[in-house]
Amino acid sequence: MIKRIKWPGWIIIILFLAGVVFGINQVLAKVLEETSEPEKKVVDSSVYPGLNIKTETEKTDVYTLSVSQPYTNNNQINKPIDTWVDKQKKDFTSGIKESKNMLEKNGFRAHLNIQAEPEKIADKIYTLKFQAYQITGGANGITKMKSFVIDLNQNKLLQADDVFQLDNEAQQAIRKLILEELHSNKKINTYLFDDMAKKALKDPKNWKWTVSRKHVTFYFDEYEIAAGAAGAIEAEIPMKQMKPYLNETFAKKIAVKIPEKEKSRKEEQHSEDNAKLDPDGKYVALTFDDGPLPEVTPRVLDALKKHDAKATFFMLGSQVRYYPTLANEVDEAGHEIGNHTMNHQDLTVLPPDKIREEIQKSSRIIEKAIGRTPTLLRPPYGASNDDVEQVATDLGVPIVMWSVDSLDWKSLNATAVNKEVMSNVAPGSIVLMHDIHPSTADALPQLLTSLEERGYQMVTVSQLLELWDENGVGPHYGKLG
Say how many C-beta atoms besides its own lie within 10 A of residue 476's C-beta: 20
Task: Name the residue among 425, 431, 441 with its Cα closest to residue 461.
Answer: 431
DSSP 165: -
Q: d(Cα 221, Cα 227) in Å, to the nearest integer?
A: 11
* Residue 434: active-site member: yes
Q: d(Cα 359, Cα 338) in Å, to the nearest integer?
A: 11
Catalytic option among 151, 289, 408, 442: 289
* Residue 161: active-site member: no
Residue 478: which residues within 8 A CB-CB, separation 6 or more? 285, 401, 402, 403, 404, 428, 429, 430, 431, 464
Q: d(Cα 179, Cα 176) in Å, to the nearest integer?
A: 5
Helix, strand, coil distribution of the chain in percent, nearest 5: 45, 25, 30
DSSP 244: G
No. of helices (H) and no. of strands (E), the chain: 18, 16
Rounded CA Rg of the chain: 31
Q: d(Cα 27, Cα 44) in Å, to the nearest integer?
A: 38
- Cα-based angle 179, 181, 182 (whole degrees, multiple of 5): 65
Using CA atoms, how far residue 202 sits from 171, 178, 207, in Å, is 9, 12, 9
Q: d(Cα 269, Cα 334) in Å, to the nearest integer?
A: 9
- The three-state secondary structure class of 404 is strand
Residue 70 near residue 45, CB atoms below 8 Å: no
Residue 98: which residues within 8 A CB-CB, separation 6 or more? 136, 137
Strands 215-220 and 209-211: antiparallel
Catalytic option among 215, 434, 437, 476: 434
Residue 354: which residues within 8 A CB-CB, separation 6 or more? none
- Active-site residue list: 289, 434
